[in-house]
Amino acid sequence: MFLHIIRGIFLLCVLGIAFSYIMGTPSEDAKQAAEGVQLFAYHKQSVLLGLLGIGILVVGIDLLISRKSLSAISGLFMGLLTGMLVAFTFALVIDLVVDAMASDLREPQLATVIRESNGKIIPQTVLVGYRDTPVVSVAKLLVGVISCYLCVSFILQTKDDVRFVIPYVEFEKQTKGGRPMLLDTSAIIDGRILDIAKTKIFDNPLVVPRFVLQELQLIADSGDRLKRNRGRRGLDIINKLQSERDLQITIYSNPGYNDRQPVDHKLVALAEDIKGKIVTTDYNLNKVAHIRGVDVVNVNDLSNSLKPVVLPGETLEIKIVKPGEEQGQGVGYLEDGTMVVVEGARKRIGEILVVNITSSLQTSAGRMIFAKTDDLGPDVRENNHRS
């Protein structure tokens, strides 16, 4: 709403400028004395419509560019400023070269001075300086345009590595807002990151490094059918993430990393460089990143933290689907996939039992719940009798 008000004020200001020009147009008598205004004085309506059209065009461009980047604007500003400083320096060099080696490229600038001598007025032409010929002016303009273009292009391509250094003081790049979250291959193939992103819980920009995308392509081209399906699933997940309108996701390309290094090492190094977090399901990568001081978002931990909490002493219904590793144990699963190990249920596979929770075990690989039945079953009673 506030942006619409600003856009309305902008259009009113454009109309105000147009009316100020029209109201300031000379009258018919004055127009004959001011020849330079004649062309525009007869086209008041054209001027009004033209300025209004320019205002509407600017607002339209603003509406079309829905996703704007402050870093791109700051990079453009710094590039133009640096380019103008470089162009000014080159202009001084061109002036020195012209004065020393090609003085014929300077045009004398003359002025007429009126002097009075013995009661007579005598006009006299004097030299007041030199000015650039069109060749020198075009050369300076060309150098300025080239300098601004190269500086803007350089800063926009390397804005993530820019450091503003003052003598004895270095201001390091600080991330404003949410820190970028780097997606690991395992987290992409896992697929749950897409469901999490759809909840709009992420304000942070998601980053897929180019080497992670290349690894997914290699997996998708594998001769093994299972690996090929996993790689294609990962590529589909990236396409779906990019189609989310409210999600900011970028493919990060930086050729400064050694291609011979493992992907996990390059991912941790990139996270250190851009002050980002790693999103993964890889247990080993999680440990390595913590050792090097990089924050990690483990999708398994995030998923487990959202599961309902069960406390010892509570009861639940569970279907026993297979025998457990220990004697007398049966195994069932909750709807969210949590494994439940039930004492005394080994011979009751296929039955739905009401069990009492005894304890739970939480790990990065998932959660396990231990329970027992009120009726321990014949196998457990037999073991207790023998003992």
Q: What is the pLDDT of residues 166-179, one digit of tens each?
A: 343 344 444 445 78
Closest CA to 274 of 153, 172, 197: 172
Cα–Cα distance measured from residue 276 to residue 4, given in angstroms and rounded to the nearest whole number: 35
* DSSP 8-state code for residue 252: E
* DSSP 8-state code for residue 353: E
pLDDT of residue 69: 64
Is residue 325 domain-shared with residue 291, that is, in the same domain? Answer: no
Number of domains, the chain: 4
- Assigned token pair, 352: 């739905």
Cα–Cα distance measured from residue 328 to residue 323, given in angstroms and rounded to the nearest whole number: 8
Is residue 44 domain-shared with residue 82, that is, in the same domain? Answer: no
CB count, 10 Å around CB of 206? 21
Residue 37 is assigned to a structural domain of this protein: yes
Residues 141-189: tens digit of each pLDDT: 888 888 888 888 887 777 555 544 334 334 444 444 578 889 999 989 9
- Assigned token pair, 327: 């004697």
Which of 171, 203, 218 lies at the terminal end of a domain, its last residue? 171
Residues 50-78: tens digit of each pLDDT: 778 888 888 888 777 765 666 677 777 88
Report which secondary-structure segment, H or E, holds 37. none
Q: Which domain holds residue 56?
A: 2-64
pTM of the predicted model, to two decimals?
0.45
Q: What is the CATH number of the domain that holds 291?
A: 3.40.50.1010
Cα–Cα distance measured from residue 289 to residue 268, given in angstroms and rounded to the nearest whole number: 6
